[in-house]
């Protein structure tokens, strides 16, 4: 026997030397929930260790992430009042826009402050767009709301807008609105291949979603790989500066396709349910938590993600720094 692959696995030093994938803190993005009216952070029961932030705790968590070398934060707003149009999303004093200003002031140039551009946290029906007279999600009317939301977020100082609503034409619409308002320099992250996933379950608690039904008329069918690749091409053609695949772990094939075909960076979102599964299994002693966290994010990077949105961003940045 001449060929013995185990030679390169014999010691920690050798394994480290031949590792094909490395996760770096700068490629981690921390999603954060900021809730209106809070004076203290509030735990989210289905996501142990993750909280709904008040403005103060958000600032502290951003300072911590920045000190750990985390690449960015993605802000989600949880408003006190919701209505059919999601008015809070375009209100300059709405919670997400308020939080964005505070976040940018706190972060300085240390990391990239990003905002979720979607109506679902702000609508009383919980859908990502506005509804027509028959109660269906109205694509083109929703685009008008996204345009205004985009400009409000850019005015608040957001450094990258995450378009997660899955309306057709959303990247082109928001790009056009931003450019008309003079925000030609504000980049767009297109949630290109976002699937209608059961793994968003805990997120619905995190943002206190009021959604009845599901999002299957606008998010992708989990069965479809080619369609994910198509959505990536569409978002790139519409001017997306970065594209996203979401969720991550159950969609690594879609991610690998996107990584191979996209001329712009490809990011992936390790979503709330992925986090909750690791936490629940670890709490039962069924898996080694730290190893599972690193392995899960490493697999997402290995599949082709240039950066990963993960609720583990700060924790993982800390543990990576302590081992190198």
- Which residues sit at the interface with ligand PBG, rule CB under 6 A? 116, 118, 120, 128, 164, 200, 203, 215, 271-272
Residue 183 burial (CB count, 10 A): 19
Q: Are 77 and 122 in contact (CB under 8 A)?
A: yes
Q: Are 40 and 55 in contact (CB under 8 A)?
A: no
We find the least distance from the C-beta atom of residue 213 to ligand PBG, in angstroms, to be 11
194 is an active site residue: yes
Rg (CA), the chain: 20
Please say which residue, 159 or 272, places its beta carbon nearer to ligand PBG.
Answer: 272
Given the residues 35, 125, 194, 318, select the one marked as catalytic. 194
Given the residues 35, 53, 246, 318, select the one marked as catalytic. 246
Q: Looking at residue 207, what DSSP letter applies? A: T
- Cα distances from 33 to residues 55, 116, 217, 266, 314, in angstroms, run 10, 10, 26, 23, 15
We find the least distance from the C-beta atom of residue 84 to ligand PBG, in angstroms, to be 17
We find the least distance from the C-beta atom of residue 268 to ligand PBG, in angstroms, to be 12
We find the least distance from the C-beta atom of residue 322 to ligand PBG, in angstroms, to be 26
Please say which residue, 116 or 138, places its beta carbon nearer to ligand PBG.
Answer: 116
We find the least distance from the C-beta atom of residue 207 to ligand PBG, in angstroms, to be 8
Instruction: Give the helix, strand, coil percentages of the chain, each rounded to 5.
Output: 45, 20, 40
Please say which residue, 36 or 120, places its beta carbon nearer to ligand PBG.
Answer: 120
Q: How far is it, in rounded angstroms, from Cα 108 to Cα 119?
A: 27
74 is an active site residue: no
HSE at residue 156, side-chain half, CA atoms within 13 A, is 30
Strand boundaries in the chain, DSSP class E: 28-35, 42-43, 51-53, 72-78, 112-117, 160-163, 188-194, 242-246, 266-270, 307-310
Please say which residue, 211 or 294, places its beta carbon nearer to ligand PBG.
Answer: 211
Helix pair angle (313-323, 289-302), 10° resolution? 100
Please say which residue, 146 or 203, places its beta carbon nearer to ligand PBG.
Answer: 203
Residues tagged active-site: 194, 246
């Amino acid at each position: 026997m001449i060929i013995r692959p185990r030679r390169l696995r014999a010691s920690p030093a050798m394994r480290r030397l031949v590792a094909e994938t490395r996760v770096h803190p700068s490629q981690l993005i921390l999603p954060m929930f900021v809730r209106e009216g809070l004076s203290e952070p509030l735990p989210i029961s289905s996501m142990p260790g993750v909280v709904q932030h008040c403005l103060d705790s958000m600032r502290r968590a951003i300072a911590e992430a920045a000190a750990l070398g985390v690449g960015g934060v993605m802000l989600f707003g949880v408003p006190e009042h919701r209505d059919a149009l999601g008015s809070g999303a375009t209100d300059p004093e709405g919670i997400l826009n308020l939080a964005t200003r505070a976040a940018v002031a706190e972060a300085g140039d240390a990391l990239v402050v990003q905002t979720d551009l979607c109506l679902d946290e702000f609508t009383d029906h919980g859908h990502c767009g506005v509804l027509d007279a028959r109660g269906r999600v109205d694509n083109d009317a929703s685009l008008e709301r996204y345009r205004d939301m985009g400009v409000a977020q850019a005015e608040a100082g957001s450094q990258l807008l995450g378009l997660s609503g899955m309306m057709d034409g959303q990247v082109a619409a928001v790009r056009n609105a931003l450019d008309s308002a003079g925000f030609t320099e504000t980049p767009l992250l297109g949630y290109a291949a976002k699937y209608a996933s059961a793994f968003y379950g805990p997120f619905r608690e995190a943002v206190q979603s009021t959604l009845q039904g599901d999002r299957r008329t606008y998010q992708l069918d989990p069965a479809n790989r080619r369609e994910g690749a198509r959505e990536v091409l569409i978002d790139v053609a519409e001017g997306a500066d970065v594209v996203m695949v979401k969720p991550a772990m159950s969609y690594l094939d879609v991610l690998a396709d996107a990584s191979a075909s996209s001329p712009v960076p490809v990011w992936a979102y390790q979503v709330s349910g992925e986090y909750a599964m690791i936490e629940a299994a670890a709490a039962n002693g069924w898996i080694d938590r730290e190893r599972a966290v690193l392995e899960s994010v490493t697999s997402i990077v290995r599949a082709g993600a240039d950066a990963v949105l993960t609720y583990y961003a700060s924790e993982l940045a800390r543990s990576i720094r302590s081992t190198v």
